[in-house]
Amino acid sequence: MADLRDQVVEDRGIIKKIQIVFPGYHGYRVNEDLRDADVILKDELYKKMLDVITNLKVGESSLVSSGQFKGLESIGVLRSRVQTAAEDVKHHGAGYSGISAPIRVDAKKISALYDLDMKIFEQIQNLQKAVNAFVQDCTSGNLNQSRIQDVNASIAAITDLNNSRETLLYGGV
């Protein structure tokens, strides 16, 4: 995935370009652009996780078609865990950098948030691979427990990375 931080800077309108010239607004504009890039990235992460849920539904349908009803509960649990992780990623704070913010979040921290979200992106790619392998097994009528463990491990990695956001932003405050 291309670095969205550069794209946001390139897409600045005239007002934002003027703001960057004034010393009082320069830091604010830079921080807000970084924050915007992170928000855009988080939206993309959310969409990718919704695609994973759609893929799990395919696996669920395959199991139903082959008469394997025991595995349906496992897939339901996986879908629920992915949905929860997706919502957490989408709605977790991006770090307000406003002029009078109660806790100052500088460009370094906001950029670190973006880097964290790129790590989450990498874990989502691992999740997609694990789910693809799981669904492939389901399509052949096989509920593979080790594939479920792989999917759960990927979800846990995403959740752990996302939970580290508050510490990154506020130092555990």
Q: How confident is the model at residue 51 (pLDDT cuts 50, 70, 90)?
A: very high
Tokens 């395919």 -> residue: 58
Give the residue with greater pLDDT, 11 vs 167: 167
Residue 10's pLDDT is: 65
**Nearest alpha carbon to residue 92 among 45, 140, 144:** 45
88, 159 Cβ separation under 8 angstroms: yes
Residue 134's pLDDT is: 92
Mean of pLDDT values over 122-141? 93
Q: How confident is the model at residue 4 (pLDDT cuts 50, 70, 90)?
A: low
Q: How confident is the model at residue 63 (pLDDT cuts 50, 70, 90)?
A: confident
1 by DSSP, 3-state: which? Answer: coil
Q: Structure pTM? A: 0.79
| Residue-wise pLDDT tens digits, 81-100 | 999 999 998 887 655 545 55
Q: Give the list of residues 6+ apart from residue 12 with CB closer than 8 angstroms, or none.
A: 20, 33
Give the residue with greater pLDDT, 32 vs 172: 32
Residue 113's pLDDT is: 85
